[in-house]
Structures are given as C-alpha cells and as structure tokens.
Structure 1
Amino acid sequence: MKVYAINGSPRKNKNTATLLQKALDGVKESAKDKEIETEIINLYDLNYTGCKSCFACKRLGGTSYGKCAIKDDIYEVLEKLSQADGLIFGSPIYFGTITGQLQSFLERLLFPYLVYDENYSSIPPKKMPTAFIYTMNVPEEVMNQIGYLKTFHRIESVIERIFTKPLAMYSNNTYQFDDYSKYKSSAFSEEAKAAHRKIQFPLDCQKAFELGVNLIK
C-alpha cells in the first residue's frame, strides 16, 4: 500500500508540510499490521501547468484516454497517483482559496477521469480514500463568516465525484513569519500569534495525525 501527501505550499517545513507529515504518521500508525509506504510530493519543486484543453484524455480509442497526455514534470507523478491507496492534499489559503499550484495540479489529476457521458461518470483506476488539510492566517470565526467553507466544499465535491469524499481539517490563525519585525505586518500581533500557536498548533498536529489514522480503514 502507498499513501501520498500532495503539498500545495511553496514551503517544505512550515505549517502545511508539517501537518501533512503528521497525517502520514497517522496513516502508518493505523496500518501497523500492513506494509504501507508514504511520500510527500512538493508541487513547487515541479515544472508544470494546468489543463491545456487538448482533450486527449477524452479521445475514443486514443492512447491517452482516461489519463493526461501532457509530458512534463507531473506526468509520471500522475501515473503513480493513479495506483495510490490514499491521497492527502494540503494547501495554505491565498485570497480565499487553495494555491494556484495545487489548483493546476487538481485540473491535471481529476479532469482525465471525468467522462463526458449523460451522467458525467468517472473512471479512476481506484476509488481511493482522500483527505484535505487547509492552513490559513484567518481565525476560525472569520473563515466561517466570509465564505471560505463554501469554496472548500466545492473543491471537495469534485474530488468526491472522482474518488471519495475527503476528510477535511482546518488550521486557523497560523503563524506566518519567523520574525514579524522584519515585515510590514501591523495588522497582526506577533505576541498574540505566538501565544495562539503555542497552544493550538500542537492540537492541529494531533488532528492531522487522527485524520491520517482514519484515512485507511
């Protein structure tokens, strides 16, 4: 078995990446009696674009029917993921939604599996379990007030249509800078941010771990 975490953050050791690793740790914990491998894929290490509307994935009898034909840095990644036993997506929130890097990746991953028949059915090789971890600067109450959840649910609904309904967790009011004094950031209180992180981020790490435990049943 193999479970992949897809890191949609440009940072490899900060909030999103840390929570993704905790989730993978939970996967391993839940599968002690099974041989299971985990891997984080850092999207910002890869050179690719979103869907180019070539429709090779829809061409009847074509060699790329049901899979993306664009041969760039994620061509082989998509092939690996087609045989995964679980996928965990993670992204910081930029302007109310996931990063453009992850959005482009999801276009390439999901669109080839969507069939243009009467029911808009799907043809993934596996109906694997999925999860989504969102990290964001805004507090939970603001997230709820300004409609972020509606955006998240729309993204999750597409993933559910292709694979399965994602488990989801949110890490709010995140600590963004190592030293707030170096940046124009008077909108935030570094002291309050640090105090919140000290208490909340360990709880978020535990939630991510539990998400991983519950991913593979």
Structure 2
Amino acid sequence: MKIYAINGSPRKNKNTATLLQKALDGVKEAAKDKEVETEIINLYDLNYTGCKSCFACKRLGGASYGKCAVKDDIQEVLEKVSQADGLIFGSPIYFGNITGQLQSFIERLIFPYLVYDENYSLIPPKKMPTAFIYTMNASEEFMDKSGYLSTFNKIESGLERMFTKPLVMYSNNTYQFDDYSKYKSNAFSEEAKAEHRKIQFPLDCQKAFELGANLIK
C-alpha cells in the first residue's frame, strides 16, 4: 500500500507540511499490520507548468494516450501517484484559492483521464481514496462568508468524479510568522494568534491524524 501526500505549500516544515505528516502518521497507525509506504511530495521542489494543451493524452493510438506527455520534473511523479492507494492533497490558501503549484499539478494529473467522447468518460488507472487539507490565515467565519467554500467545492468535485469524494479538513487562523514584529502585520494581533495556535493547532494535528486513519478504512 502506497499513500502520497502532495504538499502544495512552498514551505516544507510549517503548517501544511506538518498536518500532511500527521495525516500520514494516521495512515500508518490505521494500517497496523499491513505493509504501507508513505511519502510527502513537495511540489515547490519541482520545475513544471500546468497543462500545455498539447492533447497528446487524447491522441488515438498515441503512446501517451491517457497520460501526460510533457517531460518535466513531475512526469515521473504523475506516473508514481497514478498507482497510489491514496492521495492526500494539502495547500495554504492564497487569495481564496489553493496555490498555483497545486492547481497546475491537479490539471496535469486529472486532464489525461478525461475522455472526449459523448459521455465524457473517465479512465483513471485506480479509483483511489483522496483527502484535502486546507490551511489559511483566514478565520472560519471569514472563510464561510467570503466564498472560499464554493471554490473548494469545485476542486473537491473534480477529485470526486475522477477518484473518490475527498475527506476534508480546514486549519483556520494559522500562525504565519516566527516573529510578527519583523513584518508589517498590524492587521493581526500576534498575542491572539499565538494563543489560538497554542490551543487550536494541536487539535488540528489530531484532526489530520484522524483524517489519515479514516482514509484507508
């Protein structure tokens, strides 16, 4: 069993990465006696673009039918995750959406599996379980009233149609800086942020752990 966490954050040891690792820890705990391999793939370590509309993935009789033909740093990653037994996506939220790196990755992952026939058939190699972890500076209240959820729902519906309905969790009001005094950030109270993190982030870590455990049940 192979479970991959796709880190759409540019930072490899902060909020999103921490929660993804907790989710993978949950996978290992739930797997118990099963042989399971886990790995975090840090997208910002890789040089690639979104879909280039070459349509090689749809060329009849072509060597790349049903898979992305673009040769760059995620070609092997796409091949690897296509055979996964589960995928956990994670992203910080920038301007109400996931990062461009993760959006580009999802384009490249999903588009080759969409067939341009009269039924828009789907040909993913596996119907694997999926999950999505969102981290954001925005409070839960702001997220609810500012239309974030409609954007997230579009992403999740694409994953559901292609693979399975994702398990979802949100980590809100995250702590962004190691030292708020070094940045122009008086829109926020560092004291309030620190207190929220002290109480809430351990709970978020537990939620991520449970999400991972539930992924393979």
TM-score computed with the length of structure 2 as normaliser: 0.99
Whether 2:122 is the aligned partner of 1:122: answer yes
CA distance in 2, matches of 1:165, 1:65: 25
Residue 161 of structure 1: how far off its partner (Å): 1.1
Residue 118 of structure 1: how far off its partner (Å): 1.7
Corresponding position of 2:142: 142
CA distance in 2, matches of 1:37, 1:4: 8
Corresponding position of 1:89: 89
Residue 61 of structure 1: how far off its partner (Å): 0.7
Unaligned runs of 5+ in 1: none
CA distance in 1, matches of 2:55, 2:161: 19
> Between Structure 1 and Structure 2, how many residues are aligned?
217
Corresponding position of 1:185: 185
Corresponding position of 1:29: 29
Residue 33 of structure 1: how far off its partner (Å): 1.6
Equivalence map 1:43-192=2 (5 Å)? 43-192=43-192
Offset from partner CA, 1:74-128 (integer Å, 9 cap, x none): 0000000011000000000000000000000100001001111122121011000
CA distance in 1, matches of 2:55, 2:114: 11
CA distance in 2, matches of 1:7, 1:215: 17
RMSD: 0.5
Amino acid at match of 1:208: A
CA distance in 1, matches of 2:89, 2:159: 10
TM-score computed with the length of structure 1 as normaliser: 0.99
